[in-house]
Chains A and B, each alone.
Chain A
Amino acid sequence: MKKIVCLVVLLCLVFTACSSDSEEDYIYKVRYRDLSSLAIYAGEAAGPVNVQYNNLKRTELARHYFAGLYNHLLHDSLSIQFNGDLITYQYPESRSRRKIVSKYAYRNDSLFAIKTDGTYLFAAMGNNRDSLYRRLSLVMYPYVVAPDVYRDTVVISDQPFDYKKDMASLPLTKYTSLDDLKADGDTIVWCNVKYLFQ
């Protein structure tokens, strides 16, 4: 009898120890970065060339071209937890960490925490809990320092970069379109990084 009790207790412990956390307990954090939009164009007399590196890890390329402005840990301090019709959203603010427990809503492909005053606090892009992400675009291009003097610079934005529409509006850019890349050494690099929650 004693052995049967021991067996039952042991089995209960095993089940308890390895039962998966419920979906409500799961904390969504940025666990992956999607760098698949990294584009590198180099100038040649015949026209711009799309350079495809053979690196499996795109992080090294992003670090090389965007220097310190590409931070793969950028959104690591964000966390989102769903509990019924509430979310717990934690985010950094002025060197401290804020936590808000509130109702939430999806609006325009984004998740918002609804504050007590009714205003919406942006948490992440996406329209369901399995497609949440944050976004950051980086562009490296030659900046006009003085007539015929250029210096490579990097601009960042939370809006995605579309070279067809946005190249000419880069601040003091040498290039207004890809066709301006004509000489050896002409280079433009951009990436719309997605920081993916999981």
Chain B
Amino acid sequence: MMYRINLFRNILLLGLTLVFFHACGNDDDTNSLRYKNSKYIKFEVYAGSDNGGVLINKKVDSVRYFNAVMESFTNAMISFDANRILVGQVSISESSPYKFENGLLYIYNDGLWQYFGYGNTGNVTVRQNYVAYKQNGGAIQRFRGPSQESYTVEEAAINTPFKELSGMEKKADTLIVCTRDSYFK
């Protein structure tokens, strides 16, 4: 009986201690979102033909095409402080005005609210579009697409020498458009 009372007291003591530690923990850490992973939600490969670019089902090495231009989020963190989003990686932390509007995340850059993805202060998905192309089998060219929710191959083609899908007339012409979602939680 005595053993049970002591056990109960010890558990109570431990519980109280944990409650106190939890209550006075650093609130700043509770809102930090860590980078979890990224995945392609769209990866379209177009090849040239007599009739212009056509969507093909071909596996390509995404690292080879996009690694040079794709933003790395390794060890990246996001947190929110009043009306500012804090983006950090190692010792580099940036602070910018932000807003969520209908679940979409906008960050204020150069006088404009720029789209960056969606979510809320508890989890954020950063959406980015990228384009790579080869003219007649030449060197890979690549660029970052605009910050928008969806980005079509027609929009991408305008910013390449092909100008439009019908401009991909050579069989070795290649155009790849991808959309990557990166998750922070």
Q: What's the minimum C-beta distance from A56 to chain B, rounded to whole angstroms?
A: 6
Q: Determine if A56 and B126 form an interchain contact, defined as CB atoms under 8 angstroms apart.
A: yes
Question: Is B116 an interface residue when CB atoms closer than 8 A count as contact?
Answer: yes
Per the bound structure, the CA–CA distance linking A139 and B107 in Å amounts to 22
Question: Is A54 an interface residue when CB atoms closer than 8 A count as contact?
Answer: yes
Interface residues of A in 141-198 (CB under 8 A from B): 196
Question: Is A103 an interface residue when CB atoms closer than 8 A count as contact?
Answer: no
B67 surroundings in chain A (CB, below 8 A)? none
Chain A: number of interface residues, binned into ranges: 20 to 34
User: Interface majority SS on A: helix, strand, loop or mixed?
Assistant: mixed
Q: Determine if B94 and A38 form an interchain contact, defined as CB atoms under 8 angstroms apart.
A: no
Per the bound structure, the CA–CA distance linking A37 and B109 in Å amounts to 6
* B71 nearest CB neighbor, chain A only: A55
Q: What's the minimum C-beta distance from B142 to chain A, rounded to whole angstroms?
A: 13
Of A10-18, A79-87, A121-129, the segment with at least 4 beta carbons within 8 Å of chain B is A10-18
Q: Determine if B20 and A33 form an interchain contact, defined as CB atoms under 8 angstroms apart.
A: no
The one of B16, B17, B94 in contact with A33, judged by C-beta atoms closer than 8 angstroms, is B94
Q: Determine if B126 and A36 form an interchain contact, defined as CB atoms under 8 angstroms apart.
A: no
Residues of B bordering A, CB below 8 Å: 9, 13, 16-17, 20-21, 24-25, 71, 73, 76, 86-87, 89, 91-97, 107-112, 114, 116, 126, 128-129, 144-147
Residues of A bordering B, CB below 8 Å: 3, 7, 10-11, 14-15, 18-20, 31-40, 50, 52-60, 72-73, 196
29 sampled A-B residue pairs with Cβ under 8 A: A11-B20, A14-B17, A14-B21, A18-B21, A18-B25, A32-B86, A33-B94, A36-B96, A36-B107, A36-B108, A38-B109, A38-B110, A50-B110, A52-B109, A52-B110, A52-B112, A52-B146, A54-B128, A54-B144, A54-B147, A55-B144, A56-B71, A56-B73, A56-B76, A56-B116, A57-B71, A57-B76, A58-B94, A196-B95
9 tightest CB-CB pairs across the interface, nearest first? A32-B95, A18-B24, A36-B96, A54-B147, A39-B110, A54-B128, A14-B20, A32-B93, A54-B144
